[in-house]
Amino acid sequence: MVSSRSIEPQIEYQKSNADWGMTFLLCGAYHLTATKLTSIAATGFMSDAHLYDTSAAENVTINDQSPDYKYASVFARMSILLKQKYLASFNFRRDGSSRFGPSKQMGNFGSAAFAWLISNTRFFAEHLPFINFAKIRGGWGITGSDQIGDFKFVNSWSTTPGSYMGSTGFIPFQLAESSYSWELCRKLNIGIDLHFFKDRISISIDAYQNRSRNLVLSDNLPGTTGFITIPARNSAAQVQNKGLEFTLAASVIRKKNFGWNSTLFFTTASTVLYAFPGLQESRYARLYIVGESPTVQQGLHSQGVDPARGEFIFEDRNQDGIFKHPDDYIVFGDPDPKFHGGFENTITWKNLQVQFFFQGVAQKGYNILYWVYSSAMPGLAMKNQPLLVLDRWQHPGDISRLQRFSTGENAAAMEAAEKFAMSDRVFSDASYLRLKNISIGFTIPASLLKKTRLTSCHIFINGQNLLTITRYQAIDPETGSYNVLPPLKTWVAGCKISL
């Protein structure tokens, strides 16, 4: 059972004259979410007929949890407008959350934003009349996050699964550290908005940079301590993401019986591990690289198949005859999209309307060779295989794409296959362009419905995922998985009638 209560009082003050205006807002907030969870596990019934009667069970375990979540905040904002051209906004808030330890519950955050309506200047009015709206804006701020789960700062106990001499025992369940505090993110953004020819064309450009620190993460422990993790601890790592967002909207044609509106948008984004003190001495040294994406992929550089032995071969970068990290590993890709965008169009002609939307993504991903050699190696796994596995080495001197088949008896081939599954050959281009949606609709004119009892009738047909252009070497570039069905190609037709 979950119940919640919220209180959010507000006070607003406004004052203005011909040259300036000011708004001051003071808010408070209190939020409580009370959760009551009860689970009952019963075993040892004499008969299936008594499965719903817990008193007939030999062993009954009842587990109660009441993780209440409390959040309180005080918030102040002041907005200023000068001469209908300059805007400024200042925010400050102090938040408290029950998800942190007693001395770490409170956090202070704030932001500032500025904008200049340059289209309201005399220069634009006299020299650039075709630009009817132009605004330059920017902002900076610090935000906090408590989305980490409840009571991770408390050492907790759990009952044992069974009993001893009729008594229930208790065992340690969670080893906690109460020193962690709010995750912090510094945000910076600048942008410009332009409208041309009485809003027939509009352009919006945004550039942003976010830098997160004090990340709250779980940390592994040796099993000899009796626990395998500390559930929450502030990390010394800092992660930065930045990007550019662009939107172009245009009313291409405006006629009485014909219209065409288009919207083109795209986003470029990158995420890097900005800093990680002590990374090389930590257990994360094999996973992360400062200056690279946290999801960057590392492995050996594949050099094909040895024609003599029929086994995958790899580049030994330091020529020592041993393949190890980091000496022989290279960075060969990142699965995070570098670019994604879309192109949407709406065309109307009298009572006919056509809409379609193209989606485009530039990315890399694991191809079908990864799924083959990581979970279904030819000759060993009793699974269906793609046809490309037939291009394998069979005799000395063969020039082939893949190595010999092995049932597991050839240790060298097995070791080479394991290295191959972590090499750059299993990671390739997964970019695509997809016709995501198309919709065609026709509204029957009212003049044709006069002799019927209908007030309106709209006929439509919609399609999804109808066309995909890609070089991806697997099932679908959007899902990026060999075991997941791609988005379904669907057609829906219907008629909407009003009486």
pLDDT tens-place string over residues 296-328: 999 999 999 999 999 999 999 988 888 888 888
Within 78-201, residue ranges assigned H as helices are 122-127
In whole angstroms, give the CA distance from residue 368 to residue 363: 16
Please report the pLDDT score of residue 379 as a whole number. 82
With 0.95 as the threshold, say if the pTM is over it: no
pLDDT higher than 70, residue 162: no
pLDDT higher than 80, residue 160: no
Task: Quick: pLDDT tens for 332-343.
Answer: 989 999 999 999
Contact 458, 353 (CB under 8 A): no
Please report the pLDDT score of residue 201 as a whole number. 94
Q: How far is CA 278 from CA 194, 275, 288, in A?
A: 46, 10, 12
Q: Mean pLDDT across the chain, nearest whole number?
A: 89
* Residue found by looking up tokens 């009738």 in the block: 457
| CA-based nearest residue to 367, from 415, 431, 312 | 431
β-bridge partners, 154: none
pLDDT higher than 90, residue 4: no
Please report the pLDDT score of residue 36 as a whole number. 82
Please report the pLDDT score of residue 125 as a whole number. 82
Task: Quick: pLDDT tens for 222-266.
Answer: 888 888 888 888 888 999 999 999 999 999 988 888 999 999 999
Please report the pLDDT score of residue 320 as a whole number. 87
Task: Quick: pLDDT tens for 412-440.
Answer: 999 999 999 999 999 999 999 999 999 99
Peptide bond into 326 cis (omega under 30): yes
The secondary element (H helix, E strand) that includes residue 462 is: strand 456-470
Q: What are phi and psi of 254, to 5 degrees?
A: -125, 100
Task: Quick: pLDDT tens for 262-309.
Answer: 999 999 999 999 999 988 888 888 889 999 999 999 999 999 999 999
Contact 481, 487 (CB under 8 A): no
| CA-based nearest residue to 273, from 237, 300, 249, 299 | 237
The secondary element (H helix, E strand) that includes residue 82 is: strand 69-82
Cα-based angle 257, 262, 265 (whole degrees, multiple of 5): 170
Task: Quick: pLDDT tens for 118-129.
Answer: 988 888 888 888
Q: Is 236 helix (H, G, I), strand (E, B) or coil?
A: coil
DSSP per residue, 392-435: B--STT---SB-----S--HHHHHHHHHHTTBGGGEEE--EEEE
Average confidence (pLDDT) over 155-171: 76
